[in-house]
Structure 1
Amino acid sequence: MGDSQHVEIMSSDEHRARYGAGREPSALSMEQIGELFQEFLMAVARPKRRDGDGSRDLSERLREHLGSTPGDRPVVKAAYPPYDLPNVHLALERWFEGAGRSYELVGMRGAQHHGELTLGDILEAADRYDRFTVGAVDYAQLPVSPDAELACVSCGFYLGAEGDERFAVLLRGPQDEYGRDKVEIEVLAGEKEFADRLLAEIDILVRELNIFRGQVLSFEGSEFGHGLGPFRFHRRPGLTRDDIVLPDGLLERVERQVVGVARRRARLLAAGQHLRRGLLLYGPPGTGKTHTLRYLLSHLPEFTVVVLSGTSIDAIGPACALARMLQPALVVLEDCDLIAEARDHGGGEQPLLFQILNEMDGLGDDADVAFLLTTNRADLLEPALAQRPGRVDLAVEIPLPDADGRARLLDLYGSGLGLGKEITDEVVARTEGTTASFTRELVRRSVLIAAEREAPRTEAEDVRAALDELLSDHDRLTRRLLGVPGAEDVEDVEDCQGDDDFE
């Protein structure tokens, strides 16, 4: 076979020890013959290295560190969701900062599909077939906020020490290509009790150092393996009351339900009152439901926020689990009519609806978690959403702006244009029944028309031209999308009174 390979062949003594004395190879069963042939192929494909190259021998490296054969020690493991890799990485780093602790980090290479193998499988393959070798540590560059990333160990051995105790920790992140959809920690230690204690302390640190705490997150619904998989970080909005145009008294009611409970949590708990609550904002598209939610987020900076919309509402389970762990928290369900339709409209039972209701009901009375829901079709919502406190305690209609509201919106969005009272009154009179989204688009298009004619500023004629375009029959679809009455029925667009997401 050449000088570069050395193949171990089973001796007659080894044969008798494994298969029994007095048995000749010809008497072996087909299963035993297959096993021997598989070992032969592995020995040829993964031959043992010659002396002098032991520095890359994974089994030998672990044996030197542990002071015993790795396979003789118990292995204890814990698993986390795939998006928790940064949290587990940070928890391990912090744990090893404890007094009397140290570690050396080494990688593993030379094997494909190791995501399907346990640590025990890896140790056996490394020892018997030299299938795994010491190599570079694998890292994944992952976002931990809207503006920061962290290099996280995605596959590496921590050769650790705590006093006289020697142990090894294998950390592996999700690997779509190898069928691994979770984060796993496996601890190889002399005593199972030590491994159990290590993993329990890591779990505490995962919660304490959680990068999602106080963040605004949304589930993207994408496959795991790209960044944090289903999560996207958003900058927390910074809206003030001046940015909100709603009928008098409406914003105060909404604030009391969400912000007021958060600020008075201690007194409410002392009085035996629960903190979990639900708020439903309903009304035509474009009236400002999402904008109002963004205002609430601006005034709850310590809250963890998980936003679900469209198909990502399927992730209600993980979202609520995250909210429970990282209280105080908000779970935002946008366009909930898409899944929470009344059963007589939805054509039968709605499993996802029931899951949402169960998640709401499953929170304890002291859970500081609020559910914020929006819908364009309150008439289609399942009545069970409002049947008991803690589901939906307050439903508020966000109506079309009246004349005073339209004037305030024009002033808000066109504050830098210097529009006079005459053109403002004209716009207000001609835009009865339109939405906040319409006013915003009117201002943007007015500025664009002025820019196209190379004018130094936007004039009243630009506003009139833009208004004529938006109200014309040629822009009927645009009119419908912006909430103008009388346009043809087409599919509604996402609600906004400003930006249509949480950026």
Structure 2
Amino acid sequence: MRAVHRDQEAGMAEEAGSQGQAHVQAPRSLDHVSELFEEFLSAVARTSRDEREDGRNLGTRLMAHLGSAPADRPVVKAAYPPYELPNVHLALERWFDAGTDRSYELIGLRGGRHRGDLTLGDILDASDRFDRFVIGAVDYAHLPVAPDTELACVSCGFYLGREGDERFAVLLRGPQDEYGRSKVEVEVLARDKELADRLLAEFDTLVREENVFRGQVLSFEGSEFGHGLGPFRFHRRPGLTRTDIVLPTGLLERLERQVMGVARRREQLRAAGQHLRRGLLLYGPPGTGKTHTIRYLLSHLPQFTVVILAGAGISAIGPACALARMLQPALVVLEDCDLIAEARDYGGGDQPLLFQVLNEMDGLGDDADVAFLLTTNRADLLEPALAQRPGRIDLAVEIPLPDGEGRARLLDLYGAGLGLGKDVLDEVVARTEGTTASFAKELVRRSVLIAAERESPRTEPDDVRAALDELLSDQDHLTRRLLGVRGEDEGEPVPVPQD
């Protein structure tokens, strides 16, 4: 409807009055409406006929490939978690490449594919009766398969396959969270159920054996539509050495034996009837290096698949453990596990994720080479069943605040190359009792920044003192807390600025 300004409306009324009765369009007759509707139906029918004639009708194309009506053949389906699309895509490609008598033609599907509840049988029926589905372009999704590497995966497409004299069709559809389909679906249309079952079993073997996630460091991401799982995020494996770790004497050796030692001696342990499953809990104040220590352990287990869960990703504990079992040897890293394993006495009720974690740890077979590495700042809040019962946590290790020797080593580590003298280092160590590794790292960075602000290429002792005075001042009270430094109300000594 055309908008009319109020002044224009008044002028038009006057003009109508001067010219006599205004023109009013007569309503359309029922016969006219019926005629228009018939023209619409004819246009739709012409489109369907055109699609049949130019070879885009899906049912006609499948019949030509299979040699019989698609509706006469059984359909067998397999489903995978949403993150498995790259592996399913590659499994199909590898299966066809593995035999000289195997080949396929890949075609796309157009029309209503967003309907996540439609099966291949539904699609064939709709294509045959209503021409709702026709051949179109293949849909692809670019998904990560390694750090800085993506793969174009078929997310909706028909593989018109051949194996010798056999003819079959495979429909591969990836997840479409926006329409409620949160899984990968593979449906096989074949001569009989036995053939379809065999094909799906062979595809599944390749999904497991040739899995691109094996040996990677991964974390789950949530779906952008608020339900289900999104793709993996791939991380580069750390490359830390012993010189990068500052812990009390003997502590690192205990961790290495529990995690790396079991991995190296797995065959001897199995031969002696000993289990490989293990759980390691690192606890201590924030900023003391728990995550850094885990990064060191990951650096020395290059063959292990690692799944990291933190924050919102903790809800993916079930899929993470299933993946770890399939791709063992594997590590499941659960950071800040008190977020889900807080004792019910404190949390005010049951927490389903807690029970799921316990079940996953208890459910591992004796010879499963899967380790759980957990970190927490509040061991006192952990459920006793998680922290103390054998078979769940085998070793609990405190990562404490660094002592004087530890703080000196941290300053040497983070301040390497600055050439700071022993006197200033001793002074800093004396003034920083109760601080963390994170505090030492920030102190060195801020010292270098102060030197750079005065356009000096060298960091002087006075720069270090100025940075330390800032960090210990009242205005940086919250900064210290965020760096893991606890206050008097928590029973810890409070560093003070030097007068």
Fold agreement, TM-score > 0.5: yes
Specify the alignment match of 1:68 in structure 2: 68
Kindly report which structure 2 residues correspond to 1:24-173, keeping only aligned pairs within 5 A, or say none. 45=44, 48-50=48-50, 53-99=53-99, 100-111=101-112, 113-173=114-174
Specify the alignment match of 1:269 in structure 2: 270
Q: In the aligned structure 2, how far is the partner of 1:132 from the partner of 1:222?
A: 28
Higher relative contact order (CA 8 A, sep 6+): 1
For the 8 Å contact 2:109–2:135, the answer to whether it is kept is yes
Q: In the aligned structure 2, how far is the partner of 1:65 from the partner of 1:266?
A: 51
Q: In the aligned structure 2, how far is the partner of 1:354 from the partner of 1:113?
A: 35
Using the TM superposition, give the Cα deviation of residue 385 of structure 1 relative to its aligned residue in structure 2, in angstroms.
1.3
Percent identity between matched residues is 81
For the 8 Å contact 1:476–1:487, the answer to whether it is kept is no
SS of residue in 1 equivalent to 2:341: coil
Kindly report which structure 2 residues correspond to 1:22-421, keeping only aligned pairs within 5 A, or say none. 45=44, 48-50=48-50, 53-99=53-99, 100-111=101-112, 113-223=114-224, 229-421=230-422
SS of residue in 1 equivalent to 2:175: coil
Q: In the aligned structure 2, how far is the partner of 1:56 from the partner of 1:286?
A: 62
Q: In the aligned structure 1, how far is the partner of 2:287 from the partner of 2:457?
A: 31
Using the TM superposition, give the Cα deviation of residue 223 of structure 1 relative to its aligned residue in structure 2, in angstroms.
3.5
SS of residue in 1 equivalent to 2:48: coil
2:368 is matched by which residue type in structure 1? A
More displaced stretch, 336-345 vs 63-72: 336-345
Q: Root-mean-square deviation (CA), in Å? A: 2.1
2:162 is matched by which residue type in structure 1? A
Using the TM superposition, give the Cα deviation of residue 460 of structure 1 relative to its aligned residue in structure 2, in angstroms.
1.1
* Alpha-carbon distance change, 393 to 306 in structure 1, aligned in 2, over 3 angstroms: same
**In the TM superposition, what whole-angstrom CA distance separates every residue of 1:406-452 from its partner, at most 9, and x where no partner exists?**
11100100102111111111111111110000000001111111111
* Alpha-carbon distance change, 355 to 225 in structure 1, aligned in 2, over 3 angstroms: closer
Specify the alignment match of 2:463 in structure 1: 462
* Alpha-carbon distance change, 98 to 104 in structure 1, aligned in 2, over 3 angstroms: same
* Alpha-carbon distance change, 52 to 258 in structure 1, aligned in 2, over 3 angstroms: closer
**Structure 1 position 439 matched with structure 2 position 440:** yes
The number of equivalent residue pairs is 450
Q: In the aligned structure 2, how far is the partner of 1:129 from the partner of 1:158?
A: 23
SS of residue in 2 equivalent to 1:332: strand
Q: In the aligned structure 1, how far is the partner of 2:75 from the partner of 2:489?
A: 66
Q: In the aligned structure 2, how far is the partner of 1:431 from the partner of 1:344?
A: 36
Q: In the aligned structure 2, how far is the partner of 1:75 from the partner of 1:42?
A: 33
Q: In the aligned structure 2, how far is the partner of 1:261 from the partner of 1:183?
A: 36
**In the TM superposition, what whole-angstrom CA distance separates every residue of 1:246-296 from its partner, at most 9, and x where no partner exists?**
000000001100100000000000000000000111110000100000000
For the 8 Å contact 2:182–2:228, the answer to whether it is kept is no
* Alpha-carbon distance change, 387 to 452 in structure 1, aligned in 2, over 3 angstroms: closer
For the 8 Å contact 2:177–2:228, the answer to whether it is kept is no
Using the TM superposition, give the Cα deviation of residue 54 of structure 1 relative to its aligned residue in structure 2, in angstroms.
3.2
Q: In the aligned structure 2, how far is the partner of 1:358 from the partner of 1:51?
A: 54
* Alpha-carbon distance change, 225 to 206 in structure 1, aligned in 2, over 3 angstroms: farther
Using the TM superposition, give the Cα deviation of residue 210 of structure 1 relative to its aligned residue in structure 2, in angstroms.
1.0
Using the TM superposition, give the Cα deviation of residue 456 of structure 1 relative to its aligned residue in structure 2, in angstroms.
1.4
Structure 1 gaps, min length 5 = 1-40, 490-503
2:91 is matched by which residue type in structure 1? A
1:418 is matched by which residue type in structure 2? G
Q: In the aligned structure 2, how far is the partner of 1:52 from the partner of 1:477?
A: 71
For the 8 Å contact 1:287–1:399, the answer to whether it is kept is yes
**In the TM superposition, what whole-angstrom CA distance separates every residue of 1:171-225 from its partner, at most 9, and x where no partner exists?**
0001122221110011111111000000001111000111111111112334379
Q: In the aligned structure 2, how far is the partner of 1:84 from the partner of 1:451?
A: 49
* Alpha-carbon distance change, 253 to 43 in structure 1, aligned in 2, over 3 angstroms: farther
Using the TM superposition, give the Cα deviation of residue 228 of structure 1 relative to its aligned residue in structure 2, in angstroms.
7.6
Specify the alignment match of 1:14 in structure 2: none
Specify the alignment match of 2:25 in structure 1: none
For the 8 Å contact 1:239–1:298, the answer to whether it is kept is yes
* Alpha-carbon distance change, 460 to 169 in structure 1, aligned in 2, over 3 angstroms: same
SS of residue in 2 equivalent to 1:371: strand
SS of residue in 2 equivalent to 1:78: strand
For the 8 Å contact 1:223–1:230, the answer to whether it is kept is no
SS of residue in 1 equivalent to 2:397: strand
Q: In the aligned structure 1, how far is the partner of 2:41 from the partner of 2:415?
A: 74
* Alpha-carbon distance change, 145 to 488 in structure 1, aligned in 2, over 3 angstroms: farther
Q: In the aligned structure 2, how far is the partner of 1:79 from the partner of 1:396?
A: 41
* Alpha-carbon distance change, 51 to 307 in structure 1, aligned in 2, over 3 angstroms: closer
TM-score computed with the length of structure 1 as normaliser: 0.86
2:422 is matched by which residue type in structure 1? K
Q: In the aligned structure 2, how far is the partner of 1:189 from the partner of 1:352?
A: 41
SS of residue in 2 equivalent to 1:355: helix
For the 8 Å contact 2:443–2:467, the answer to whether it is kept is yes
* Alpha-carbon distance change, 457 to 60 in structure 1, aligned in 2, over 3 angstroms: same
Structure 2 gaps, min length 5 = 1-39, 491-499
1:346 is matched by which residue type in structure 2? G
TM-score computed with the length of structure 2 as normaliser: 0.87
Q: In the aligned structure 2, how far is the partner of 1:222 from the partner of 1:352?
A: 19
2:78 is matched by which residue type in structure 1? A
For the 8 Å contact 1:73–1:191, the answer to whether it is kept is yes
SS of residue in 1 equivalent to 2:78: strand
2:256 is matched by which residue type in structure 1? E
1:237 is matched by which residue type in structure 2? P
Q: In the aligned structure 1, how far is the partner of 2:474 from the partner of 2:51?
A: 85
SS of residue in 1 equivalent to 2:196: helix
2:88 is matched by which residue type in structure 1? V
